[in-house]
Amino acid sequence: MSRRFAFLGASAALIIIAVGLGYRVGSGLQDVGANSEGAWTEGLDPPPVWLEIPAPDVEFRTAEGGIARLADYAGSIVLLNFWGTWCPPCLVEIPHLIEVQKVLVELGGTIVGPAVGSGSAEAVLRFGRDRGINYPLWLSDYDTAVGRFGAAGYPFTLLIDGEGIIRKQYLGPQTARTLLRDIGALVVREPEPPPAG
């Protein structure tokens, strides 16, 4: 048990160091402005504000033809990224997600990418292979993305902790730096004290 915590602590430290040094993947993602949740700026970023929203346990079809649910990842951090093959900002974000996935799997977590309104499973798989996507791809419809998860546009990403609680939501393309900063903060986050009484 202590070896697992030591590994998680070391991994979290690496993430924080990488983020602190200004780790950034590629140059395709421009600063999206000071009013955007995903905007990255020079200097220190404020600590994340954590949400407390239980993630819906929805059944998805995987691009490989199986069935999957978020509950299948209980105990793991999941970055749920609703996107579309038709969505230019989603395409800009993909290289950043590929880099984040490399770190997240080391922490026992994963990105999952439900493709919204993007055609057949075969088309989504081919699209993913052509772009080197290294995380599971699922299929979604607009009703699920909007009605169950609150997607207000695309890409729409949720950071979900190991307890199945949505801790952050992001609208629009995110940098690897932003996502790794928040994942690192979630990993090292101290448990909240129990309520008094």
| Beta carbons within 10 angstroms of residue 192's beta carbon | 8
pLDDT tens by residue, 19-66: 433 333 333 344 333 334 444 444 566 778 999 999 999 999 999 999
Residue 197 is assigned to a structural domain of this protein: no
Q: What is the pLDDT of residue 92?
A: 98
Whether residue 188 is predicted with pLDDT greater than 90 in this model: the reply is: no
Residue 119 is assigned to a structural domain of this protein: yes
Q: What is the pLDDT of residue 71?
A: 95
Specify the CATH number for the domain of residue 134: 3.40.30.10
Residue 194 is assigned to a structural domain of this protein: no
Q: Where are the alpha helices (DSSP H) in the chain?
A: 2-20, 88-106, 121-130, 142, 176-188
> Tokens at residue 4, please?
């697992």
Whether residue 13 is predicted with pLDDT greater than 80 in this model: the reply is: no
163 vs 197 pLDDT, higher one: 163
Q: What is the pLDDT of residue 75?
A: 95
Whether residue 4 is predicted with pLDDT greater than 60 in this model: the reply is: no
Check residue 73 and report its DSSP letter. G
Residue 140 is assigned to a structural domain of this protein: yes
Percentage of the residues of the chain whose pLDDT score is greater than 70: 73
pLDDT tens by residue, 105-161: 999 999 999 999 999 999 999 999 999 999 999 999 999 999 999 999 999 999 999
**Residue 38 and residue 172 in contact, taking contact as beta carbons nearer than 8 Å:** yes
**Residue 181 and residue 167 in contact, taking contact as beta carbons nearer than 8 Å:** no
16 vs 139 pLDDT, higher one: 139
Residue 84 is assigned to a structural domain of this protein: yes
Residue 193 is assigned to a structural domain of this protein: no
Residue 195 is assigned to a structural domain of this protein: no
pLDDT tens by residue, 150-187: 999 999 999 999 999 999 999 999 999 999 999 999 99
Q: What is the pLDDT of residue 48?
A: 83
Please give the tally of structural domains in the chain.
1
Domain that includes residue 9, residue range: 2-188
Residue 196 is assigned to a structural domain of this protein: no
